[in-house]
Amino acid sequence: MVIDKQTCRTELRIAIQHLTDRCLHSASKWAAEQLVGIEHDPTKNPPSHTRLQRGSSSILRRFRATDETITCTPIAGTSYVSTPVPEEEDEAVDTDLYLLAKSYFNCREYRRVAHVLSDQTGNKALFLKCYALYLAGEKRKEEETIELEGPLGKPDAVNAELVSIERDLAAARNNGSIDSFGLYLYGLVLKAKGNENLARTLLVESVNTYPWNWTTWSELRSLCTTTDTLNGLKLNNHWMKDFFLASTYHELRMHNESLTKYDQLQLTFGSSNYIKAQIAKAEYSLRDFEHVEVIFEELLRTDPYRIDDMDMYSNVLYAKECASGLSYLAHRVFSTDKYRPESCCIIGNYYSLKGLHEKSVMYFQRALKLDKKFLSAWTLMGHEYVEMKNTPAAVDAYRRAVDISPCDYRAWYGLGQAYEMMAMPYYALHYFKKAVFLQPGDSRLWIAMGQCYERNDIGMIDKAIKCYKRATDCNDREAIAIHKLASLHKELGQNDEAAYYYKKDLERMEDEERDGPNIVEALSFLSSYCREHGRFEDAEVYCIRLLDYNGPEKEMAKDLLQEIKFAQSQHFSS
């Protein structure tokens, strides 16, 4: 069932009102984005309304045309529950004070908010009071972290207001008077205190009564670290749940499931930039860079001052070695807001592409100063340190990334690489194993592990062969693995296998019209192999091809040809 656009629209409009009223700004921002993202019927609306919805550019349409048939099929079996939009309680007496509090809040004077509302009783007032206190505590926490920084690093300060907020909210909950916003805040507090199970229950309760608060969903997502916990949640089947599921699937690295969800959502929210960016994220994880680039170009056209997720775009540009595009992007985000970790990462990427690794490290460090848990900056900084041959620093950076998110296979891979550089291949293997476990479909990881096994200080050729075999199974684009397999088998004297892989390698190189020493090696092996097995015609073909190349192989080919001729004549005569 496709979500009814009109109900969505009305629901979101009311929700934005509610959220803004409670100063949940980022939630209301998100809701407003989705509201605008609902595709309008172009015939009904004047063109000015669709200014922000130029989603149907020619390139994107081309991309979409391919899977039009799939997306149009309605999803069977899903029926959405309609959650009644709660009526706003009108507390006329308190409104004046509430208005004052709200303006204080907007000026970020949180403690004044709490003070103004200290005697108020209504749900709205309670929420705003607690929320303001929470934010005041968070602010103080940040300050304290800096004040208390010692030689042993910054201690994790604790939000001092949590206890009193929890007391108030627990009392309200016991009365039964708590509303969904209160539940959200309660969940937030409990999560900060480390009581995750109860926090999850409360957040679920909150989204079931009021599903339009996206921040609640995000908190819930951060508490779902395994599929089991996700499946254990008892959620009403509201359309907001699809957004939640899609983003949680992404977090759990179920990228394909996430993509299908987003495709379904796009039927309703056709021009939502949020969904586009999320699709780009998923595609990026699936390493479909072409598509990601198209999406980001599109996004930048409709939303030129966007900074969220742009660091991923810069990664794509980096991978495609598109320096000018990267510099253009860097300039753009820099002039928009230079104190965002994303902007710093983009600039870091640009310098890295230019080979200025010191500068690049500086910008990554700046990004980390702005947000010390910014995962990709740690990993990228590790890469830079590897380039600068400063392996201890690289190891440190990678390790921090891994400690922030143990699922970051790039950082595990980086750790392995760094240790391999330090001539500790056996130690490195441990890290490669971790990386491969997390991303078993990535041929580069398998190849790196194979190379590690192959090194002569370890010399576990059989394991190396197994790794390379896995690599060929998962779409090894540069075909390093096939060549390695061939030469390893040759080394071990397993000529049949070697011949099989050389032949495969040769076919691939022919397809891609490549040239190089690998071809010579393959040809010379195959020619002698065929001759030994009495397949003189094949051997002759290989030898003749070998004559095109200079070097000792040419002479060898000539000799071989003569031998073959001789053998053939013998063969015929007998």
Partner 1 sequence: MAGMVKPQSGFVITPHKVSICILLQVYAPSGQLSVPYPFDSISQHNRLGLFLIALTKSCDDILEPTLDDSLKLLKEFGGLLYNWLTDHVTGRLSSISSPDDLFTFFTGLRGILAGLETSVIDDDQINLDPNSNLGLYLRRFLLAFNNLSFEGMCHLLTNIKSYCKEAFSSYGMSHLDDASNDPEAPLEYENMDLENIVLQNFTEELESRKKSTEQVPFHNHSSKALISLVEDITVSPGQKVKQSLRSETQMQSTSVESSDVIFQRTNWQIQGFLSEKAEMIEKLGSSFPMSAFESVLKLLQNLAPELHRVHFLRYLNSLYHNDYPVALENLNRYFDYSAGMEGSDFVPPINYTNNGRYEIALLSLGMTHFYFGHPKLALNVLTEAVRVCQLHSDDTCLAYTLTAICNLLSEVGISNITGIMGASDSHDSTSLSVQQQLFVLLRRSLKRADSLKLKRLVASNQLALAKFDLKHVQRPLLSFGPKASIQLRTNPTDVCKKLRLSSQLIHQFDNESSIVTIDGALSTSWLKNQREPTTTLVFPQESELQSNRDTFYSWLQSSSVPGSVLQLVGSSFLVSATSWELYGSASLARSNALVFATCFADSASSADLALAYGKLIQHLAVYKGYKEAFAALKIAEAKFLSVSKSGILPVKLQLLHERALHRGHLKLAQQICDELGVLASSVTGVDMEIKIEASLRRARTLLAANEFNEAASVAHSLFCKCYKFNMHVENASVLLLLAEIHKRSGNCVLGIPYALASISFCESFNLDILRGAATLTLAELWLLLGPRHAKRALNLIHSAFPIILGQGGLELQSRAHIAEAKCYLSDSSISVSEDPDIVLDSLRQACEGLEALEYHEMAAEAYYLMAIVLDKSGQVEEREEAAARFKQHITALENPIKPEDPLVNLL
**Near partner 1 by CB under 8 A: residue from 157, 235, 375, 541:** 157
Binding mask 426-445 for partner 1 (x = CB under 8 A): xx--xx--------------
Closest separation in Å from C-beta 195 to partner 1: 6
Q: Which is nearer to partner 1, 292 or 429 (CB)?
A: 429
CA 393 to chain centre: 24
Q: Which is nearer to partner 1, 138 or 263 (CB)?
A: 138
Closest separation in Å from C-beta 182 to partner 1: 15
DSSP 319-353: HTT-HHHHHHHHHHHHHH-TTSHHHHHHHHHHHHH
552 class by beta-carbon count within 10 Å (0-12 exposed, 13-18 middle, 19+ buried): exposed
Q: Which is nearer to partner 1, 88 or 403 (CB)?
A: 403
Scanning 107-115, 262-270, 420-428, 445-453 for contacts with partner 1 by CB under 8 A, the matching segment is 420-428
How many angstroms separate the Cα of 567 from the Cα of each of 138, 160, 540, 544, 573?
Answer: 87, 91, 12, 16, 10
Closest separation in Å from C-beta 412 to partner 1: 11
Spatial separation of the C-alpha atoms in residues 199 and 65, rounded to whole Å:
44
Q: How many of the chain's residues bind partner 1 (CB under 8 A)?
A: 47
**Which residue from 270, 269, 271, 315 is spatially nearest to 292, judged by alpha carbons?**
315
Q: Count of alpha carbons within 13 Å of 383, Cβ hemisphere only?
A: 20
Which positions from 445 through 464 interact with partner 1, judged by CB under 8 A? 457-458
Binding mask 178-207 for partner 1 (x = CB under 8 A): ---------------xxx--x---------
DSSP 53-84: GTT--HHHHHHHHHTHHHHHSPPTT--PPPPP
Q: Which is nearer to partner 1, 96 or 156 (CB)?
A: 156
**Near partner 1 by CB under 8 A: residue from 130, 135, 204, 395:** 395
Calculate helix-pair angle for 310-319, 273-285, nearest 10 degrees: 40
Closest separation in Å from C-beta 181 to partner 1: 20
Q: Answer yes or no: are the C-beta atoms of 481 and 466 closer than 8 Å.
A: no
Tell me: does residue 2 bind partner 1 (CB under 8 A). no
Q: Which is nearer to partner 1, 46 or 176 (CB)?
A: 176
**Near partner 1 by CB under 8 A: residue from 29, 112, 139, 140:** 140
Spatial separation of the C-alpha atoms in residues 144 and 368, rounded to whole Å:
18
The β-bridge partners of 143 are none
Scanning 83-91, 301-309, 395-403, 442-450 for contacts with partner 1 by CB under 8 A, the matching segment is 395-403
17 class by beta-carbon count within 10 Å (0-12 exposed, 13-18 middle, 19+ buried): middle
Q: Which residue in this structure is represented by tokens 């999320």?
A: 278
Closest separation in Å from C-beta 439 to partner 1: 19
Q: Which is nearer to partner 1, 166 or 298 (CB)?
A: 166
Which positions from 400 through 419 interact with partner 1, judged by CB under 8 A? 403, 415, 419
Structure tokens at 544: 């003749």
Other CB atoms within 10 Å distance of the CB of residue 105: 22
Q: Which is nearer to partner 1, 422 or 474 (CB)?
A: 422
Tell me: does residue 176 bind partner 1 (CB under 8 A). no
Closest separation in Å from C-beta 150 to partner 1: 6
Q: Answer yes or no: are the C-beta atoms of 487 and 501 closer than 8 Å.
A: no
Q: Which is nearer to partner 1, 48 or 174 (CB)?
A: 174
- Using alpha carbons only, what angle is made at residue 192 by residues 402 and 126, rounded to the nearest 5 degrees? 150
Spatial separation of the C-alpha atoms in residues 181 and 197, rounded to whole Å:
18
Tell me: does residue 492 bind partner 1 (CB under 8 A). no
Binding mask 227-246 for partner 1 (x = CB under 8 A): --------------------
Footprint of partner 1 on this chain (CB under 8 A)? Answer: 140, 144, 147-148, 150-160, 163, 166-167, 170-171, 174, 193-195, 198, 390-393, 395-399, 403, 415, 419, 422-427, 430-431, 457-458
